Amino acid sequence: MPLEEFLYPVNLRVRGHRCLVVGGGRVALAKADGLLEAGAAVEVIAPEVVPELCDRPGVTVHRREYRTGDVGGYRLAVAATGCQEVNAEVYRDGEAAGVWVNSADDPDHCSFTLPSRLRRGPLMVTCSTAGRSPALSRWLRQRLEAEIGPEYETLLGLLTEARERIRAAGVQTEGLAWQEALDSGMLDLIRSGETGQAQATIDRLVDNTLM
């Protein structure tokens, strides 16, 4: 991968779509869990599979070696076999079939990379090094975990409800004083247990918008 290459960040909708994980070890388990979290229908191809993969609801396991062309028909695929030759084959098949492929710890055989992520409900913060140092991505995520606590999920809930109220009134939500409201100390109010006061700040924004 050229050093000057920049990746295009996206969040993919995979709910209900078939996604393939090639490999049956601990890394494959983590990749499958990430796909399951997003609602994907996960299929695993591997001759040996850790017991946890077999026990995961929503996972179909095929106990065999990967065969050329297996990747066709899936929304996306993750190659996590620990064998660079097999991972590269999955990638080449994906390129031929138009299927996005991530190869664990092998950025040269990736059509997409997976950032380290921190979730607080619907809120997701990601750290990515374009596949160059997953360790740095994880380290950054761990540092952010101490800063971005559950209060951010509460804040997001207040903002979401306010936005929906404004949209229900037929008013555009772009260009409103969201930043001013966020800078008013709402997060500190939520952290100190004064969510009602934070709600009042949001209510004033909604009321001023709908006047």
Question: DSSP assignment of 12-72, as one string?
Answer: ---TT-EEEEE--SHHHHHHHHHHHHTT-EEEEE-SS--HHHHHSTTEEEE-S---TTTTT
Asked whether the whole model's pTM tops 0.75, one would answer yes
Task: Please tell me whether residue 94 adopts helix, strand or coil conformation.
Answer: helix
Cα separation, 181 vs 187, whole angstroms: 10
Task: Provide the pLDDT for residue 176.
Answer: 83
Each residue's pLDDT tens digit, 142-153:
999 989 999 999
- The CATH number fitting domain 18-114, selected from 3.40.50.300, 3.40.50.970, 3.40.50.720, 3.50.90.10: 3.40.50.720
Task: Provide the pLDDT for residue 1.
Answer: 46
For the stretch 128-134, contacts whose Cβ atoms lie closer than 8 Å and that sit 24 or more positions apart, written own/partner, are 128/7, 128/9, 130/1, 130/5, 130/6, 130/7, 131/1, 131/107, 132/1, 132/107, 134/105
Cα separation, 74 vs 99, whole angstroms: 7
Q: Please, which residues have CB within 8 angstroms of residue 9's CB and are 6 or more apart in sequence?
A: 126, 128
Task: Please tell me whether residue 92 adopts helix, strand or coil conformation.
Answer: helix
Task: Provide the pLDDT for residue 107.
Answer: 86
CA–CA distances in Å: residue 118 to residues 27, 133, 138, 145? 18, 17, 10, 7
Each residue's pLDDT tens digit, 26-42:
999 999 999 999 999 99
- The structure tokens 């006061």 sit at 197
| Average pLDDT, rounded, for the chain | 92
Task: Please tell me whether residue 169 adopts helix, strand or coil conformation.
Answer: coil
Cα separation, 173 vs 126, whole angstroms: 25
Q: Please, which pLDDT band fits residue 194 given cuts at 50, 70 and 90? A: very high
Each residue's pLDDT tens digit, 70-116:
999 999 999 999 999 999 999 999 999 999 999 988 888 999 988 88
**Domain positions in the chain:** 18-114, 116-136+144-211
Cα separation, 199 vs 13, whole angstroms: 31
Task: Provide the pLDDT for residue 151.
Answer: 95
pLDDT score of 198 more than 80: yes
Q: Please, which residues have CB within 8 angstroms of residue 45's CB and are 6 or more apart in sequence?
A: 20, 21, 22, 62, 64, 65, 66, 70
**DSSP H or E stretch at residue 120:** strand 116-120
Contact between residue 162 and residue 181 where contact means Cβ atoms under 8 Å apart: no
